[in-house]
Amino acid sequence: MNKYALISLVGVIVLLAAALVGTLIFMQNRPVESRAIQAIYDVAPMEPNSELWGRNFPNQYSSFLRTRSNTVDTTYGGSSKFSHLEKDPRQVILFASYGFSLEYNDDRGHENALTDVREIKRVNETTPGTCYSCKSSDNPGLWAEMGMEAYDKMKFSELGEHIDYSIGCSNCHEAETMRLIVTNPALEEALEAQGKDWRTFSRQEMRSLVCANCHVEYYFKGDGKYLTFPWQNGTKVEEMYEYYTEVEFKDWEHPEALTPMLKAQHPEYEMYTAGSTHFNAGVACADCHMPYVRDGAAKYSDHNIRSPLLQPERACGQCHNDVNSVTTRVSLIQEQVYNTKIATEDAIVDAINAIKGATANPTSDQTLLLEARELHRQSQFYWDFVSAENSMGFHNPEYVLKILAESTNLARQAQMKAAQAANDPSLLETDTYYLNQEAGAVTP
């Protein structure tokens, strides 16, 4: 073989190898379905009507529709909208005069999000349009059209005229490619503030990040009620608390303690990604909440998103051989977290009562009283970070128990400061025995 033939042969081999690698990389980055099946119908970018997407992907669509009719509950979660306030009356005291003391229901499936937000008693004439941000597949289109700033400035009632659909395909997928994308501008901005670009994220990271479009802590910034994730300093509870303190934000003032309060909102993504065992092992939200289902030769992701405890064989069994022992572990973790959480609530209620007593006393030291309120604010935000998170601790048990210990400690310090401010030892009493009886949770 002459030199030139050899060079061309090597050249051809190199080219073929490069083409193969290129094809493999391309295939690797395709969503599972489109590796084999081409979409038959064109779907417009950001199409809000999931039914139109469903013509191309009937399995995903029909499983997704089932989120509307799920009603089965588990010990601490599940799909009915049971009242957290009835289950745990302490929360009426903790959220006094704020909307969450009027009505606070458990979450239901994605197809009910729009109905549920429209029915909730917390909504009134002053409610900002921003509340629709995680409830509808109309949002990506509206944000592209008018920008999030204009969207957030509208009133809930006014914006509602532009919103017809509950959560749908357009909240998680790009229509042209079906890849998973960030659709909420607030998430895009929060990542940017941390110097992160989701376009560089791996597919496995995106299988959690799409949920962070909604399952995160957020607040409404300024008079324009601009949707903002408090992630500038990081996503740990103390980093978000520090952020809120820096920007001097409060959700409401507690009417008895006069404390400027914060309400935490479903921080599933932050809790899970704060070094949980599963997160560290590379497991994504979709692994447990959207396990693969077989349909003949095809397999697809179950879009009937709900509690994994309702189908542990599929949700956990893909990785754990002994499904019974891991679900027993879940029960133990959740029970321990629930009881610890109730004990923390008792401590916060005591703090509120002590601060109330010290506030009523005209001779109280105002500086100490302010310090007591600051401790109350921090304690309740920490507790709420666990309480408003929807897994009753399972997503990150060690972290949750650490936060609750810190919260209880802060609440007891608040109570002591208040007693000190009023120079009144009677404010150190703990008065929560009857509440324990009522909720039937902890035996004192």
Residue numbers 32-71 binding ligand HEC by CB under 6 A: 32-33, 50, 53-54, 57, 60-61, 64, 70
Q: Which is nearer to ligand HEC, 213 or 340 (CB)?
A: 213
Cα separation, 442 vs 434, in Å, equals 11
Q: Which of 84, 110, 236, 263 binds ligand HEC (CB under 6 A)?
A: 110
Listed ranges 1-9, 170-178, 218-226, 343-351: which one lies at the site for ligand HEC (CB under 6 A): 170-178
Chain Cα centroid distance, residue 167: 15
The dihedral through the CA atoms of 102, 117, 119, 285 has a sign that is: negative
* CA angle centred on 117, ends 111 and 120, rounded to 5°: 130
Candidate residues 91, 127, 213, 387; the one interacting with ligand HEC per rule CB under 6 A? 213
- Count of residues in the chain: 444
Q: Which C-beta is closer to ligand HEC: that of 207 or that of 417?
A: 207
- The CA-based angle 151-152-154, given to 5 degrees, is 70
- Nearer of residues 159 and 435 to ligand HEC, judged by Cβ: 159
* Least distance CB 272 / ligand HEC (angstroms): 4
Distance CA 219, CA 383 (A): 17
The separation between CA 268 and the C-alpha centre of its own chain, rounded to angstroms, equals 4
Rounded least distance, CB 116 to ligand HEC, Å: 3
Helix (H, G, I), strand (E, B) or coil at 209: helix
In whole angstroms, how close is the CB of 399 to ligand HEC at the nearest point?
11
Residue (316 or 351) nearer to ligand HEC, CB: 316
Segment interacting with ligand HEC (CB under 6 A) among 31-39, 224-232, 233-241, 404-412: 31-39
User: Under rule CB under 6 A, how many of the chain's residues touch ligand HEC?
Assistant: 78
Among 46, 159, 169, 182, binds ligand HEC (CB under 6 A): 169
Q: What is the rounded distance in angstroms from the CA atom of residue 353 to the CA atom of residue 359? A: 10
Q: Which tokens go with 49? A: 């009507």
Taking every pair of Cα atoms in the chain, the longest distance, rounded to a whole number of angstroms, is: 104
Applying the rule CB under 6 A, the residues between 6 and 25 that interact with ligand HEC are none
| Closer of 395 and 412 to ligand HEC (Cβ) | 395
Shortest Å, Cβ 408 to ligand HEC:
22
Cα separation, 162 vs 142, whole angstroms = 8
Phi, psi of 295 (to 5 degrees): -130, 90
CB atoms within 10 A of CB 100: 20
Q: How far is the CB of 159 from ligand HEC (least distance, A)?
A: 15
* Smallest distance, ligand HEC to C-beta of residue 129, A: 15
The full DSSP string for 138-192 is: THHHHHHHHHHHHHHHSBHHHHHTT----S-GGGTB-TTT--B----HHHHHHHH
CB of 139 to ligand HEC, least distance (A): 7
Distance of CA 98 to the CA centre of its chain: 20
Q: Which of residues 241-280 bind ligand HEC (CB under 6 A)?
A: 268-269, 272, 277-278
CB of residue 265 vs ligand HEC: minimum separation in angstroms? 10
Among the listed residues 101, 327, 361, 430, the single contact to ligand HEC using CB under 6 A: 327
Residues 182 and 209: beta-carbon distance below 8 Å: yes
Residue ranges in 177-206 that form contacts with ligand HEC under rule CB under 6 A = 178, 180, 203
Q: How far apart (Å, rounded) are the C-alpha atoms in residues 401 and 337?
A: 7
Block residue for tokens 């007891």: 412
Which residues from 349-378 bind ligand HEC, rule CB under 6 A? none
Q: Taking contact as CB under 6 A, which single stretch among the options 17-25, 109-117, 346-354, 429-437 is the one that binds ligand HEC?
A: 109-117
Residue 132's nearest CA partner among 104, 166, 105, 175 is: 166
Residue 130 as a binder of ligand HEC (CB under 6 A): the answer is: no
Least separation in angstroms between CB 328 and ligand HEC? 9
Residue 134 makes CB contacts below 8 A (sequence gap 6+) with 113, 167, 184, 213, 214
Contact predicate 34/300, CB 8 Å: no
Please select the residue that binds ligand HEC; options are 196, 329, 356, 402, rule is CB under 6 A. 329
**Smallest distance, ligand HEC to C-beta of residue 41, A:** 11
Of the pair 334, 364, the CB lying nearest ligand HEC is at 334
Give least dist CB 344 to ligand HEC, A.
Answer: 19
Q: Which is nearer to ligand HEC, 190 or 427 (CB)?
A: 190
- Over the window 282 to 301, marking each residue x when it contacts ligand HEC by CB under 6 A and - when it does not, the resulting string is -x-xxxxxx---------xx
- CA terminus-to-terminus distance, the chain: 91
Any bridge partners for residue 261, and if so which?
252
**Rounded to the nearest whole angstrom, what is the least distance from the CB of residue 338 to ligand HEC in the complex?**
10
